[in-house]
Amino acid sequence: MSFSFEVLKTDPTGARRGRLSTPHGEVQTPFFLPVGTQASVKALTQEALEGLGAEIVLANTYHLYLRPGHELIRRLRGLHQFMSWPRAILTDSGGYQVFSLSELRKVTDEGVRFRSHLDGSEHLLTPEKASEIQLALGSDIAMVLDECIETPAPREVAEAALARTTAWARRAREYFQESARREGAPPAQWQFGIVQGATFPDLRRKSARQLLDLDFPGYAVGGLAVGEPHEVTCAITAEVTALLPNGLPRYLMGVGRPEQIGDYVGLGIDMMDCVLPTRAARHGCLYTSEGRVLIKNLRYAEDQRPIDSNCPCGVCRRYSRAYLRHLFAAREMTAAILATHHNVHFYLDIMRRIREAIKFGNLAKFSSEMHARYAVDPA
């Protein structure tokens, strides 16, 4: 099976219901990628992920390059084999680490010089290197190296980062295509470009146009949801999706909260990833059909109800809030396992419901209901 993307239906809002095919299976869009930075979605086994219905996960170039090393993974026949995950994998490029590890790196036109957060050693991540690593990992979708900056940013800073991101995208694209020519076969990987430009609509448009020239099979919107208000995230996303070809997948990177996801889909986004469900779970924040449950709170100490009475997940079918709260209080690792299981189920279920909503043309209603529920805490 090779790569393809097909839009099956477009909703009046602009939301798209589609199908992405990869050599490691089909993925129904819009979809959410659980984040498994180090080739592991924290607290979940691959069996659990399969059971939850995850069709694709995200892993990280920077982290896997540092440890265990992309060459090691190449020798072990690639990331799918290494982590025993037969379904699709998208690898992020390390562009986000330019942002999040700002204390440990220096950005130049050549690339990003990182000091490893593991042992302090110095590493140069260039657009070519990030692409090479991802080819070695053998992910289904590779992201180009981009420069993700903090928001709000002065226009000059955003402009410079955008120029660099475009230049890097060009180099990454060339490296990728050259490598395909060398192999004499189309690479078993898709490479996506990433639109930058901070919160400046014209810069975002400029970025999108420049990347479109490079003929990527899919496009991401990066550098959003890094502190700006949700309305701004939406406005900028809309600005970009308006320019992207209908036939190509659109990926909004790093989002979002449960109640925001429908909004993004309504703007024509097909794929998203976010650490929120997994990280929040480990910290005791559980998402439910009624809103958030901070399970460590005293009020749940004797609550025999499941996390979410409307949730069919394995955790809700079997365990009580009181037990979950106890596990967190006792710092048992089962707390993280059960909480993550539930939250990932919840996110994947949101996506299932969104795909249904698009089918029946009531996504807008779904989204406004989600916002209403998450505006207040559950009883």
* Residues marked as catalytic: 92, 273
C-beta closer to RNA: residue 274 or 317? 274
Q: Are 169 and 142 in contact (CB under 8 A)?
A: no
Q: How far is the CB of 156 from RNA (least distance, A)?
A: 18
Q: Is the backbone peptide bond immediately before 187 cis, with ω within 30 degrees of 0?
A: no
DSSP symbols for 180-243:
HHHHTS--S-EEEEEE--TT-HHHHHHHHHHHHTT--S-EEE-S-SSSS-HHHHHHHHHHHHTT
184-220 burial string, b = 16+ CB within 10 Å, else e? eeebbbbbbbbbbbbbbeebbbbbbebbbebebbbbb
> Shortest Cβ distance from residue 206 to RNA (Å)?
17
Q: For residue 66, what are its two tokens?
A: 């540092």
DSSP characters for 95-117? Answer: HHHHHHTGGGEEE-SS-EEEE-T
Task: Please name which of 126, 52, 128 lies closest in space to residue 85, comparing C-alpha atoms.
Answer: 52
Which of 16, 325 has the CB closer to RNA?
325
Q: Is the backbone peptide bond immediately before 154 cis, with ω within 30 degrees of 0?
A: no
At closest approach, how far in Å is the CB of 144 from RNA? 8
What span, in angstroms and rounded, lies between the C-alpha atoms of 173 and 152? 29
Instruction: Name the residue nearer to RNA (CB basis): 362 or 373.
Output: 373
Quick one: 7 or 167, whose CB is closer to RNA?
A: 167
CB of 322 to RNA, least distance (A): 12
Quote the tokens at residue 231. Answer: 């309305």
- Tell me, rounded to whole angstroms, the distance of Cα 257 from its chain centroid: 12
In the bound state with RNA, the residue whose beta carbon lies nearer, of 74 and 326, is 326
User: Which stretches of 213-339 are assigned E, i.e. beta strand?
Assistant: 219-221, 250-252, 271-274, 285-288, 291-294
Q: How far is the CB of 88 from RNA (least distance, A)?
A: 15
Comparison of 96 and 360: residue with beta carbon closer to RNA: 96
- Provide the minimum distance between the beta carbon of 93 and RNA in the complex, in angstroms, as a whole number: 5
User: What single-letter DSSP state applies at residue 118?
Assistant: T
Interface residue list for RNA (CB under 7 A):
35-37, 41-42, 58, 60, 63, 92-93, 95-97, 99-101, 103-104, 117, 143, 146, 148, 194, 220, 222-223, 225-226, 230, 253-257, 260, 273-276, 278-280, 282-285, 294, 296-299, 301, 329, 331, 333, 336
What is the rounded distance in angstroms from the CA atom of residue 171 to the CA atom of residue 137?
19
Please state the closest distance from residue 290 (CB atom) to RNA, in A: 15
Neighbours of 118 (CB within 10 A): 9
Nearer to RNA, 12 or 53 (CB): 53
